[in-house]
Amino acid sequence: MSHASYESLNADRIKSAMSATGQIALHHLALYQQLDSTNSELQRQAANGAPSGTACLADCQTAGRGRRGHIWHSPPAVNLYLSLLWRYSLPPAALAGTSLAVGAVVAEVLQAAGGNDLHLKWPNDVLWRGRKVAGLLLEVSGNSQGSSFLIVGIGLNVHMTAAVDNEITQPWIALADIVERPLNRNQIAGQLLDALINALECYGREGVAPFLTRWRQFDAWIGHPVQLICANQIINGIHHGIAEDGALLLKTANGMRTFHAGEVSLRKQ
């Protein structure tokens, strides 16, 4: 378990970790020393017409965002804060399953880097033995007539130590603490971008179906009692995995119910 020395982000090194097709589809890659949030930056660029395949990374974020309004702590130089813009000729509602597609490929990339015992918490947290190693923030915009864009944000704890960020209240871990080999931030960033581009292109052609089995391989919650926090309501039940459209299946006292991303939070009881 090794902590590499500081390595600055480098666009050429990131691209060299990508496949030829990934490099072609990556329209523009911008690196920033500091941003409010990589997702917020791409929202601004998208509003100005930035094309599909626009990506950015920041070495640190001053207003990093998680799901449901949570802060994403973003200390400098130790983690990855990465966002990718992707445009679709589909209505926003058709992109509901993208969080599962993205979760599955991020878990696969981290597993390939040597991270064993990883699992996914619906809809889009990557955990290691119950501790968060990566969080995803997917934001969809568009019109119901049929064109939309998606911003995929990834916050990955790479070399963060408790000394760097003791403000995080939930259990977390850094990838460097669970992987035996040295980690290279540029290489992981390139591998993540490559996998994301591949997944988002595939989703545009085939939807969520190709990703369901891949997601289920990381679903450690099946059969466990869970608690869903849905608006101001708490729903208890047994986690029954995910439906064919990517919704969460929950067996409750009132029978089987389905819930969609963005509505709920999941806690093992």
**Residue numbers annotated as active site:** 67, 132, 267
Residue keyed to tokens 């500091």: 34
HSE-CB at 136 with a 13 A cutoff on CA atoms is 28
Q: Are 190 and 18 in contact (CB under 8 A)?
A: yes
Strands (E), 54-198: 54-61, 79-88, 118-121, 125-128, 131-143, 147-157
CB neighbour list of residue 230: distance below 8 Å, 6 or more residues apart: 259, 263, 264
HSE-CB at 161 with a 13 A cutoff on CA atoms is 5
